[in-house]
Structure 1
Amino acid sequence: MLDFIIDETRCIQCGECAADCPVSIIDMDGGLPRIPEHRESYCIGCQHCLAVCPTAALSILGKDPDQSARILPPSPGALENLIKSRRSVRRFSPECVDGKVLDRLMDVVAHAPTGKNQRNLRFTLVDDRDVMEEIRVRTMEGIRKAVADDSLPDGMEFFAKMVAPYDQGRDIIYRKAPHMIIASAPRDSAAPDADPFIALSYFELMAHSLGLGTVWCGFARWALQSVVPELGRALGIPADHRSMYAMMFGYPAVQYARTVQRDVSGVYRVCLADLEGGR
């Protein structure tokens, strides 16, 4: 049941909910919005109708519109600075991130868009520093054994070069970060290759705003998928999840003073001549 409820004392019959519904299942027959029973199964649970209602007259899926935050867009300058000042952090403090901060991060990442609004991502969160250390140790044990057995997967021979630095106290894979988050998606999702990356992009920007550091970690992804897959399975990542990516995070042990300077490249502006030539 969609539990689609209209507060008639608030509804101004503007029709915005019907006009904005992505799957066009809301109609205004009789003046008030309604969803015919035979259309309910087409709802994707996006809550656009709740969000667009100017008078908070509409409830769906048991959600109280009065509990939704008002939209307060950040200034373009502040958002631009946040994006431009984000750095890949590879020096972390051993201090664990406070649980309330982690809860806030996960609440925000739940709002990341997914294909067809399926929202079936799995977030594998390592919020315990001791667990993170065990992952670090077991990863290196697996790499060390693969090197000894000459069984590193083709194209991943570079992992062999990480053993000596690790023995000297350098963690090239996990960067001694106290935490890790892995986003993964089922292979039969609408957009399994894109959804994890979109979610982690939301995660890292919110983390940056909270004073945390993050680093996208391809080494961890490859290690957990191909070198020590048994460890990846032990982390609870479902076998049918086709796409995954890992991100290390925690309080940074480095503070950057300014943004960098980059030139825009790779932009191709399409003109009418391009379209005419493709006929």
Structure 2
Amino acid sequence: MIEKIITINNELCKQDGLCAQICPMKIFIQETKKTPHIEKTNHCVLCGQCLAVCPASAIHHSRLRKEDLVQIVEPHPVNEKAMMTLIRQRRSVRVYKNKEIPADVLEEIADSCGYCPTGAHGQQGWVRNITIVSGQENMKRILDLTVEYMRMLKSKLEGFVVNYLSRWIPEIQGGLATLPDISLRLAQYEKGRDVILYNAPAAIFVHAPRNTSTPQIDCDAALYSMMLLAHTKGLGTCWMGWVQNAAAGFQVKSFTALRDFLKIPTDHRVYGALIIGYPKIQLHSIPPRETRINWIN
């Protein structure tokens, strides 16, 4: 573990206590109106909030460089109407053009998830872990391995023990409820039709260390941020649960072929996956969606 050294320049410090107020780990302590003192720097999660809020640039952090900070010129760059329109227009896409996505576009989309609302990954700070797969041969490999996983899961769900235990365990009942969907997709695969990856030209996987506090939530937020940015670039995306499960070996721990193909670190797990490409069909309207709100005042 690399030691974190944090200091405050007494001559520059305005003694406003902003760093003490904003630090999520309470490393900066200001008990009276004077320069805050610093405690337990090993708890720092490298969020950079202290550097970003200090008006006098009085804070020095050994792991974060001031020159890497980007100045905020427009506090609200997108108005609420435009943002709501973006959220509403983003739809799941399952019909794609046979057109490759430039590598730099995929990387820019992947980079965006570093700014989504997620928890720090322990001492790694705010690092997000993304695996991008593109190319017809690689995508075919993902499809084949996902099918292999689904066949193994189907066999397990159809077994006597699982069906017997399902009488008392709701989670198993939920698993059995997926059998019709699994059977449908496998049947289509046998006929040469892809209703798993939908012939998309690329896929993005999000993975995180297993020992972090909220890895599933972190990766969910990362996926959604990439989906929104992809939409602004004229790209379509679709959240892929079966591919994600295959990469994680969900309910079939012996299946590691897809995670091995993706070269996922042994201490990580894949918590999210999406396919991405140029939509072949353009929607002319937005289907209605309902939100049920319950107020507690």
TM category (shorter chain) comes to 0.7 to 0.9
Superposed displacement of residue 71, structure 1: 5.4
State the match for 1:51 in structure 2.
Answer: 52
What 5-or-longer segments of structure 1 have no aligned partner? 272-279
Aligned amino acid, residue 246 of structure 1: A
- Aligned mates of 2:235, 2:95 — CA distance in 1: 11
Aligned amino acid, residue 176 of structure 1: N
Query: Residues 30 and 127 from structure 1, CA distance in 2 versus in 1: closer, same or farther, beyond 3 angstroms?
Result: farther
Aligned amino acid, residue 44 of structure 1: V
Query: Residues 6 and 97 from structure 1, CA distance in 2 versus in 1: closer, same or farther, beyond 3 angstroms?
Result: farther
Query: Could you say what secondary structure the match of 2:224 adopts?
Result: helix
- Aligned mates of 2:97, 2:56 — CA distance in 1: 46
State the match for 2:129 in structure 1.
Answer: 122
State the match for 1:275 in structure 2.
Answer: none
Q: 1:259 aligns with which of 282, 286, 291?
A: 286
- Aligned mates of 1:144, 1:261 — CA distance in 2: 32
Q: Is 2:16–2:33's contact at 8 Å kept on the other side of the alignment?
A: no
State the match for 1:230 in structure 2.
Answer: 256
Per mean C-alpha deviation after superposition, the further-off stretch among 179-188 and 117-126 is 117-126
- Aligned mates of 2:79, 2:11 — CA distance in 1: 35
Aligned amino acid, residue 111 of structure 2: D
Deviation by residue 1:97-132 (Cα, 9 ceiling, x = unmatched): 212212212221112233355346532321344311
Query: Residues 95 and 18 from structure 1, CA distance in 2 versus in 1: closer, same or farther, beyond 3 angstroms?
Result: same
- Aligned mates of 2:15, 2:269 — CA distance in 1: 45
Q: Report 1:1-279 matches (<5 A).
A: 1-4=3-6, 11-27=13-29, 31-32=34-35, 35=38, 38-60=39-61, 61-65=63-67, 67-70=69-72, 72=74, 73=76, 74-116=78-120, 118=122, 119=126, 122-140=129-147, 142=148, 151=155, 153-154=157-158, 155=176, 157-158=179-180, 159-224=182-247, 225=249, 229-234=255-260, 235-241=262-268, 244-265=271-292, 267-271=293-297
Per mean C-alpha deviation after superposition, the further-off stretch among 191-200 and 108-117 is 108-117
Query: Residues 143 and 46 from structure 1, CA distance in 2 versus in 1: closer, same or farther, beyond 3 angstroms?
Result: closer
Q: Is 1:187–1:243's contact at 8 Å kept on the other side of the alignment?
A: no
Query: Could you say what secondary structure the match of 1:91 adopts?
Result: coil
Per mean C-alpha deviation after superposition, the further-off stretch among 22-31 and 81-90 is 22-31
Superposed displacement of residue 201, structure 1: 1.4
Superposed displacement of residue 168, structure 1: 4.1
Q: Is 2:113–2:223's contact at 8 Å kept on the other side of the alignment?
A: yes
State the match for 2:172 in structure 1.
Answer: none
TM-score (ref. length: structure 2): 0.75
Q: Is 2:131–2:205's contact at 8 Å kept on the other side of the alignment?
A: yes
Superposed displacement of residue 5, structure 1: 5.4
Deviation by residue 1:18-76 (Cα, 9 ceiling, x = unmatched): 221112211458944553xx521121211111222345554432322464241532111
Aligned residue-pair number? 265
Aligned amino acid, residue 269 of structure 1: W
Aligned amino acid, residue 276 of structure 2: F
Q: Is 2:205–2:270's contact at 8 Å kept on the other side of the alignment?
A: no
The RMSD of aligned alpha carbons is: 3.2
- Aligned mates of 2:279, 2:33 — CA distance in 1: 58
Query: Residues 105 and 59 from structure 1, CA distance in 2 versus in 1: closer, same or farther, beyond 3 angstroms?
Result: farther
TM-score (ref. length: structure 1): 0.79
Superposed displacement of residue 199, structure 1: 1.4
Q: Is 1:124–1:182's contact at 8 Å kept on the other side of the alignment?
A: yes
Query: Could you say what secondary structure the match of 2:106 adopts?
Result: helix
Query: Could you say what secondary structure the match of 2:40 adopts?
Result: helix
What 5-or-longer segments of structure 2 have no aligned partner? 159-175
Query: Residues 52 and 65 from structure 1, CA distance in 2 versus in 1: closer, same or farther, beyond 3 angstroms?
Result: farther
Per mean C-alpha deviation after superposition, the further-off stretch among 195-204 and 224-233 is 224-233
Query: Residues 19 and 204 from structure 1, CA distance in 2 versus in 1: closer, same or farther, beyond 3 angstroms?
Result: same
Superposed displacement of residue 246, structure 1: 1.6
State the match for 1:276 in structure 2.
Answer: none
